[in-house]
Structures are given as C-alpha cells and as structure tokens.
Amino acid sequence: MKVFGIFILVIVLISLSETKVVRITSKNIKEVIHNPNADVLVKYYATWCGHCQRLKEPYEKASDAFDDDDDVIFAEVECDGEGKDVCQKASIRGYPTVRFFSKTNKNEPEDYNRERTVESLVGYMNDKCSKFRNPDGSLKAESGRDKEMDNLAQKFIKAKTEEEKQAVIKETQEKVDSLNNFDLYPKIMEKILKNSKYVETESQRLQNLINSGSITPTKKTEFSKKLNFHKKLNIFCFLQDNIGIVKHIFYTYSPCREI
C-alpha cells in the first residue's frame, strides 16, 4: 500500500511540473516554428551545457506566464539528442541559443540577447508579441486599454454635469466605432450615470472572482481586462493617479492596485 501511495505521489508531482514548452524535432518543426498564427521563441540547448541547465527553470516559468495565449509558443530543441539535425540546419554554434520567430516573418529569426531571467524573457515576449503579461502570468494594468480612450475616461470623470458626461460618452462611442474595439469604455460610462457606485461594486466583484482560484485561465484573463477598464473609470483611481496625497491615503484599500 505504501509503494502504491508513493507511486501516486510521483505521478502527481510529475503532472504539476509539466510545462507548456514544446519539444521540436524534424518531425514537427514545420507545424511549430512555421505556425503562421503564432510567435515562437525557440531555445536550442545541449544536455551537458551548464548555462542551458540554469536557463531551464526561468524559460519554463516564462512559458507558463503565457499559458493562456495560444498565439505565443515557447519551444526547445535538444541539439545533442533528438533535435540534432534541426540544430545543424539552423547552424547553431553555441549553447544555449535562443531565437524568436515572428508570425509575420518566419525566415528571418531574431537572436534573443537579453538576460536569461523570467522577467527579461517575459518582457521580451511582451514587446515582440504585443502582450501585457507579468512574470506570474497575470495581466498588467494597461492590458486591454488604449491611451486615447484612457484620456476620454479621465475627461468623463472631470465632467461636472450629466450633459457634459453624455457628450463625452458620445465622443467615446465615435472613437470606439473608428477603432472597432474598446466598447467597454462607453458601456461603463453609461452604467456610472445610472449608478454612481457601479465601478466600485463591479471592480470588487471582478477582483474577488480573479482571486477565487475557481475560474479558468481564459476567464481570469477576460475579467482582468475588464477590471483594467473599470479602474480607469473609478474616481479613486483618477485621484490616485493625479493627486499625490491621495495616493498615500487610498493605496492600501484602493481597487486601483495591480492585480
């Protein structure tokens, strides 16, 4: 019975350590690297290489940060094993070599030359893939937002009368129509006019769902983006961004904090 229990524990630990990193060989290289719908980061390594061994953990953690982004792939090639022929064709001369293959240009990969840390790997992929991931996989506050729309959000908060606010909503809707996106901005503005406490209540609801651990990664991403919209239309967030003393007073309890 003890042996069976240990066996189950080993299986659980193996499943917990599974990573999204895709192993590339000559059999699947085309469908991985040349996937037209994905940006791909490829690590070429050798099992005996100490630098490669030290890169393994941060590379896997960086991959996990983009677990909910189907158009971002972290891959690896074992150059002294099943991927030897792939590395030879890629003219790999040193280990580890990390290259980025853009979905728009698969024929001219870019060498990765930043630090070999989770933060640097995630930052690099954010820059290249227009993503907004934190190293732990959560979304940055600017995710799903637009600078011009954020300016309109602040203009809405500053408006003193309902007439002025309605004018901002109209302007915002026109901007949404031209961008064909960010339709949450005018929708939230309309709800604020009907209920002044809507943003605070909805922000707390979304934050509770995100922190609950009971929702899927896809839903967590969706709710995080919605929360980012609500933060920009929250009067406390506006004050926190624009009045220094309020930053100090409200920081601990404000719904404007990073997720």
pLDDT tens figures, 161-207:
889 888 988 888 887 776 655 666 777 778 888 887 887 888 888 88
101 three-state secondary structure: strand
Instruction: Report the distance separating Cα 90 and Cα 96, nearest Å.
Output: 13
**Higher confidence at residue 17 or residue 216?**
216
Task: Compute the distance between CA of residue 132 and CA of residue 182 in angstroms, rounded to an integer.
Answer: 16
**Averaged confidence pLDDT in the chain:** 81
- The domain made up of 2-129 has a fold known as Glutaredoxin (3.40.30)
If you classify domain 147-250 with CATH, what class do you get?
A: mainly alpha
Q: Where are the domains of the chain?
A: 2-129, 147-250
CB atoms within 10 A of CB 18: 9
pLDDT of residue 253 exceeding 60, the answer is: no
Of the pLDDT bands very low, low, confident and very high (cuts 50, 70, 90), residue 244 is very low
Tens-digit pLDDT profile for residues 100-159? 999 999 999 999 999 999 999 999 999 999 888 999 988 887 776 667 777 887 888 888
Give the DSSP letter string of 195-246: -TTHHHHHHHHHHHHHHHS-S-HHHHHHHHHHHHHHHHT-HHHHHHHH-HHH
